[in-house]
Amino acid sequence: MTTIRLGGPAARLTEPTSDEELIAVVREAQSEDRQLWVLAGGSNVVVADEGLPGVVMRIATQGVEETRT
């Protein structure tokens, strides 16, 4: 997922497409006491050849909308 194609795989890769999925991934990682990394586009990211333990979350939502109450 890195743009320069360096490094090993993630133990788990998720790509939430909604706010609800994103929140669920974070909660699951917290409940399992797993490390969580957030990846946007992947530019300028270098990962060790051993990869990453835990969860890498590549955010695939379509943006954020502000709601005032």
Q: What is the pLDDT of residues 26-61, one digit of tens each?
A: 999 999 999 999 987 666 778 888 888 999 998 888
In a domain? residue 45: yes
Q: What is the pLDDT of residue 60?
A: 85
Q: What is the pLDDT of residue 30?
A: 96
Cβ proximity of 4 and 49 under 8 Å: no
Q: Between the CA of residue 57 and those of 14, 16, 17, 66, 67, what are the distances in Å? A: 5, 7, 11, 22, 24
Q: What is the pLDDT of residue 42?
A: 60
The total number of structural domains that make up the chain? 1
Give the amino acid at 2: T
Output the domain CATH number for residue 16: 3.30.43.10
In a domain? residue 38: yes
For residue 44, the enclosing domain spans: 10-58
In a domain? residue 69: no
